[in-house]
Amino acid sequence: MRTLILASTSIYRRQLLERLRLPFQVVAAEVDESPHHAESPSVIARRLAKAKADAVARLHPDALVIGSDQVCDLDGAPLGKPGTHARAMAQLRAMQGRVVVFHTAVAVVCVDTGFAGEAMATVRVRVRPLDDATIDAYLHVEQPYDCAGSAKSEGLGIALLESIESDDPTALIGLPLIRTCSLLRAAGVPVLG
């Protein structure tokens, strides 16, 4: 089997990929993640997943490289990783009582074989009505400043939500494993034999 590389330093993506019990390496993708002018959240996610996979695949042409990106979409506008408590407060205030869409794209690339595949999972999340005290308490406990949308559904952030709709449940955490498995099988990786 070819070397498998995850083109991401995200601990969340690494933990998800470990579920597949395939040996893999982690290589940071040096990619400018700035959105292009008038680019929709879903297009940003697709473009960056492919760019990350391509950047690492150029450095490791014999490897099979997985790139992924997630963009939180509130009314067609991308919400990035907040980075700070104040920005996370603002994001959760804006999202409370509303439906937010998370676009999680995955790309698998191998330069030597010419394989290139992409897939997208879309997750609709209904955030329950929240007051500032609840938002502040949550942020102090979990500090999800490195998460698009300022909450971790796999942790205490689940208490902020009313519902999650998706056909690929790990997509909300950062890597759609159902779609990733499909792409890996198409590339010749025997996921579960």
- Whole-prediction pTM value? 0.93
Predicted confidence (pLDDT) at residue 27 exceeds the cutoff of 80: yes
SS3 27: coil
Q: Are 96 and 154 in contact (CB under 8 A)?
A: no
- How far apart are alpha carbons 160 and 110 in whole angstroms? 40
pLDDT at residue 80, rounded to an integer? 86
Predicted confidence (pLDDT) at residue 193 exceeds the cutoff of 80: no
Catalytic residue status for 69: yes
Secondary element (H or E) of residue 122: strand 115-127
Q: What is the mean pLDDT of residues 72-84?
A: 93
Please tell me what DSSP assigns to residue 156. G
- Catalytic one of 69, 131, 136, 168: 69
- How far apart are alpha carbons 172 and 71 in whole angstroms? 10
What is the assigned CATH class of domain 4-186? alpha beta
Q: What is the mean pLDDT of residues 40-44?
A: 95
pLDDT at residue 68, rounded to an integer? 97
Predicted confidence (pLDDT) at residue 43 exceeds the cutoff of 70: yes
